[in-house]
Structure 1
Amino acid sequence: MFGAEPMLCDDRRMGQPGHDAATLLDDAGIELGPGLTDAEFDSIEERFGFRFNPDHHSLLATALPLGDRWPDWRNGNDHELKTWLDTVAEGFIFDALHQNPPFWPASWGEFPSAPEDVAATVRRELAMWPRLVPIYGHRFTPAAPSPSGSPVFSASQTDIIYYGADLVEYLTNELPFGQGRRTLSPIVVRVPYWSRFVESANSAESI
């Protein structure tokens, strides 16, 4: 469980959201391990090519949530973590290949005839969007340089919605798990591409 004093010292350095988020998780009975060290953050950045945004970093520096559907950034299998990070792109690829008509923005050019070319185009286009990093299950938040107060998205293929205006609101909505979204404050931090896509009700024409 959440060890108050040592972790709180780290969190005061990083900022308050991590403490508030860890407290919500602890109160909900989520298993929490020690926060990630600077060396562990550096290793994650080197292996996966992204940095956590400030609020996500603050939580993980304070305490590491553990258990089913929580990414284990310390001891998790790299292949599984990479697969998790690829979930959003794979969802877009699935809808491009299996929706009728295919999910295919006009800005992406002519729809390729070969599935492998469809996948390559989707990956190339989404690589220009901010990276979405899993928090829990299919809930994601943008990587840095997205700032503190960044929203949390629920992503299921191309069905993407806001699930919290920030990390703490997201956890308040998610806990206890399975209850669904309850509140959504005004979005303060708009995320390039993703916010427009969500706010257009996932319209391909918005891309």
Structure 2
Amino acid sequence: MDYIGLINQMKTAGVRFADGLTKHEFDAIEQRFGFHFPPDLKQFLSLALPISDKFINWRDSSAQNTERIRERMNWCLEGMLTDVENNRFWMYEWGPKPADLAQAKNICEVEYHTAPRLIPIYAHRYIPETPSEAGNPILSVYQTDIIYYGENLYEYLLVEFGFKKYEEIEFDNIKRIRFWSDIIDSWEADYMI
């Protein structure tokens, strides 16, 4: 995949970039936030770091930016808990939904923490940390309204910045991601209680 060409295309679409992250910076970021970048995201961010609005500025280690990143990482759980409380979100795999709201939210939180961690990329688009290999799909996450937004990082960036239509995503070729793909499938099948 030609990330250099893609970066140049993104620049024409108005995306601003800084120099790519160094090995030392990757190590520090992964230690600070407790995750590992998938190899394709790491490759992309080592070439150039997008710093336009809605992107994560991984280089900025200020307290304010660190808190902003933590909020973006926790936003997915907060959205799920909101839907457990206010909507009908509940997965059959979790067993019967408890009548006690605190207990239901606790079960949701436990299940969430067994799922592959989602790493924010742009706005409410995320990439799963695991499996730790290239080609993980990009997820658009808004509470439990979760959809695929790209077969992989490269294809996602084409879609996000208008170089490929959303309708051209090859949904049949998207890698399944434990937990997250189940939620996507559940909406499609009205699988939730």
Alignment counterpart, residue 79 of structure 2, candidates 82, 86, 91: 91
Q: Separation in 2 of the partners of 1:115 and 1:71?
A: 33
Q: Distance in 1 between matches of 2:52 and 2:173?
A: 29
Quote the Cα distance in structure 2 between the aligned partners of 1:163 and 1:65: 19
- Distance between the aligned counterparts of 1:203 and 1:147, measured in 2? 29
Are 1:71 and 2:80 counterparts? Answer: no
SS in 2 for 1:201: helix
Equivalent position amino acid for 1:89 in 2: L
RMSD: 2.6
Judging changes above 3 Å, is the alpha-carbon distance between structure 1 residues 117 and 34 closer, same or farther for their aligned structure 2 residues?
Answer: farther
Please name the residue that 2:42 is paired with: 57
Identity across the alignment (%):
35
TM-score, length of structure 2 as denominator length: 0.84
What secondary structure is seen at the aligned counterpart in 1 of 2:176?
Answer: coil
Which residues in structure 2 correspond to 1:185-200 (within 5 Å)? 185=170, 186-200=172-186
Compute the displacement of 1:67 (Å).
2.2
Q: Does 1:136 align with 2:122?
A: yes
Partner of 1:201: 187
CA contact 1:159–1:202 (8 Å) conserved in 2: no
Match of 1:39 in 2: 24
Equivalent residue of 1:121, what SS? Answer: helix
Q: Which runs of 5+ in 1 are unaligned?
A: 1-15
Structure 2: gaps spanning 5 or more residues: none
Asked if residue 151 in structure 1 is aligned to residue 144 in structure 2, the reply is no
Matched residue type, 1:36: L
Query: Is the Cα contact below 8 Å between 1:50 and 1:143 reproduced in 2?
Result: yes
- Which string of whole-angstrom CA distances, capped at 9 and with x for unpartnered residues, describes residues 82-108 of structure 1? 110111111111100111xx3122433
Give the count of matched residue pairs: 189
C-alpha change, 1:107 and 1:63, in structure 2 (3 Å) is same
- Given the alignment of the two structures, is residue 23 of structure 1 paired with residue 40 of structure 2, yes or no? no
Select which of 153, 166, 170 maps to 2:152.
Answer: 166
